[in-house]
Structure 1
Amino acid sequence: MKPLLYQVARNIDEPVRVLKECHQHFYDNLHFHSEYQIMTIIEGKGTYFIGDSFGNFNSGDTFIIGANLPHFFRSNQEYYSPENGLLSQNISILFSPDALGEKFKDLQEFHVIKRFLEKSKSGLFLKGVARKKLLKSSKKITEKNGFDRLIYLFKIFNYLSQTDDLETLSHVTYDTEIKAGDTEKINSVIGFLLDNFTRDISLADAADVANLSVNAFCRYFKRHTRKTFSQFLNEIRIGNACRQLVEEDLSVKEAAFKSGYYNISYFNRQFKTITGCTPSSYCRNINIKHVH
């Protein structure tokens, strides 16, 4: 009863694989894989869930996802309508240390990379100068092959191991005992919440989607997401409100209503709990960033 095991197609002796993907929307099922992943969003917007961290993503963002860390990237609703002509593009660098062999991994020079990979098991988000650098590096590595590609990836890892422009995302890490199975149920629940969060959703509604009793569903949902149902739903809603405040220039009241909140006081409390600031402070900070 865990997220979907996603098998990355590669040669068994290939330590680095680079994927350039362009689809209408991103792969939106909760999944994990044994490879470490650097994912750069070339084009597209939406929401992500990594470990126990939920937030918004935009073009130019880069995420580093450790081995066996459950995650998904769901494009905004407009990307699911073909008539809009929108595309979601990313470059993913997938790295499998096991393909290098134990002797190589034991080299002193590889230890700094091992420490960084261990850090990535919580999921990392790049900001500042590192964000811009990795956008360029992700594009450049697609031009390299074989040993040159591996050396270039090590240079990226070396840079990332030294920069301060990294934000840890997940508060929990996941062991390697995750097994595939029972994946349709949790993905159905998550899809239901993402498609319906603007309306009144009860715990019983979500339990019905999973075909579980309310008590069994609460345990099931917490085991898969490391969050309670109400925490997860509020983070979806507040994430949507943040996006609307930034992209659509809505008033706080409008953003609250369009995110499924009909009590403005409750919305304000949840907004501050999740973001650390009030909606008005958030808007002021965004406006200052836009000015500079």
Structure 2
Amino acid sequence: MEYIFEKIYVPRQHSFITREMELKKNTARVHSHKNFELNFILSGSGKRIVGNNISSFEKDDLVLLGPNLPHCWEIIQTEAEAPPKCIVIHFYENLITSDFFNKPELEDIVNLLRRADSGLFFSGSEIPIIKDLLKNLTHQQGLASYIGLLQIFSLLLGCEKQEFIAQTASINTGFDEDFKQINKIYEYVFQHIHEEIKLNQVADLLNMAPGSFCRFFKKKTHQTFMEYLIKIRIGYAVKLLAETSKPISEIGYDCGYNNLANFNHYFKKLMKKTPSAYRRDFR
């Protein structure tokens, strides 16, 4: 099985990001990323792949996934059903080694995250309460969001049933090497997001010619490098628009666009609205 490698952008000033997402039918692919992931199904049903496990999922299913664990949600729905949606929290990959979590009171949470290497499925009377907290978390920021997250962890620890989903993840050597190669590109992009990023410089990181690199990246991620780069730049712009009062021209520059017209063009192409409209609607 061929996997897709993803890099989830969690800004350095945050420990996690929470989003409500629509699960698209017929677009699911097995993918993997370095982040921890907490996934709650709001609506829809289908087939879930986690590591070497294939099982069904349905509304109100809640799972916690460790880093680098291949997974996929394949939707099965009829037209009469509500659009399948989920709430997803992605945690900064170094969360459990951070100073904040290096506290005796949080030791149980750290152990829970470590046990998520094979995926954990939660069920019990706590699930409806966790659902409400997750919904609130999609609208919270700052200290309120961190308090909400800790409340969720506390409830997860007390869940009546915690089941391992897959056997201990074992990734073959070829997959591991590919992951390292792709992640090297991801890290380079995040470190140089403010700058012009040239294809030949990125290809040199993997000791490849530009053409060979483009084919390799497309095969492993199912998107071109330029498509990925634009997505990351605009994703970063979305965070800055929502969380800062910086002028739009400055945000475009921070995201690597020296030309405001180009920034507006790609933002509208991806987000279906202009940066100013996005900021206005968000607030």
Q: TM-score range by the shorter chain?
A: 0.5 to 0.7
Shift of 1:23: 4.7
Q: Which amino acid aligns with 1:72?
A: C
C-alpha contact (below 8 Å) 1:112/1:158 kept by paired residues: no
Q: What are the within-5 Å matches in structure 2 for residues 119-134 of structure 1?
A: 119-134=115-130
Distance 2:162 2:120 in 1: 6
CA contact (8 A) 1:141 1:149 kept: yes
C-alpha distance after superposition, 1:263-283 (max 9, x if no partner)? xxxxxxxxxxxxxxxxxxxxx
Amino acid at match of 1:143: H
Matching of residues 91-170 of structure 1 within 5 Å: 91-96=87-92, 98=94, 102-170=98-166
Q: CA deviation at 1:140?
A: 1.9
Change (3 A) 1:84 1:36: same
- TM-score, structure 2 as length reference: 0.55
Q: What's 2:272 paired with?
A: none
Paired residues of 1:16 and 1:149 also in contact (CA < 8 A): no
CA–CA distance in structure 2, aligned partners of residues 149 and 26 of structure 1: 33
Offset at residue 41 of structure 1 (A): 0.8
Q: Which amino acid aligns with 1:75?
A: I
SS in 2 for 1:105: coil
Amino acid aligned to 1:152: G
Which stretch of structure 1 is more off in the superposition, 23-32 or 96-105? Answer: 96-105
**Alpha-carbon spacing, 1:86–1:154, altered in 2? closer, same or farther (3 Å):** closer
AA aligned opposite 1:87: P
Q: What does residue range 1-292 of structure 1 map to in structure 2 within 5 Å?
A: 3-25=3-25, 28-76=28-76, 78=77, 87-96=83-92, 98=94, 102-174=98-170, 178-180=176-178
* RMSD (CA atoms): 2.7
2:37 counterpart SS class: strand
1:101 Cα offset (Å): 6.4
Percent sequence identity over aligned pairs:
20
Once the two structures are TM-superposed, the CA of residue 25 in structure 1 deviates from its matched residue by: 2.6
Q: Is the 8 A contact 2:122 2:156 kept in 1?
A: no
TM-score by length of 1: 0.54
Q: 1:145-197 deviations in whole A, cap 9, x for unaligned? A: 1222122112211221233322211112347983546xxxxxxxxxxxxxxxx
Shift of 1:92: 0.3
* SS at 2:100 equivalent: helix
User: Structure 2: which 5+ residue stretches go unaligned?
Assistant: 180-283
Residue pair 2:34, 2:93 contacting (<8 A) in 1 also = no
Structure number with greater CO (CA < 8 Å, separation at least 6) is 1
Q: Give the Cα separation in 1 of the matches to 2:20 and 2:129.
A: 18
What residue identity is the alignment partner of 1:160?
L
Tell me, yes or no, if the aligned pair for 1:33 and 1:68 is still in contact at 8 Å: yes
Distance 1:149 1:26, change over 3 A: farther
Match of residue 241 from structure 2:
none
CA shift for structure 1 position 99: 5.4
SS in 2 for 1:46: strand
**Contact 2:10–2:90 (CA<8 Å) still a contact in 1?**
no
8 Å contact kept, 2:50–2:166:
yes
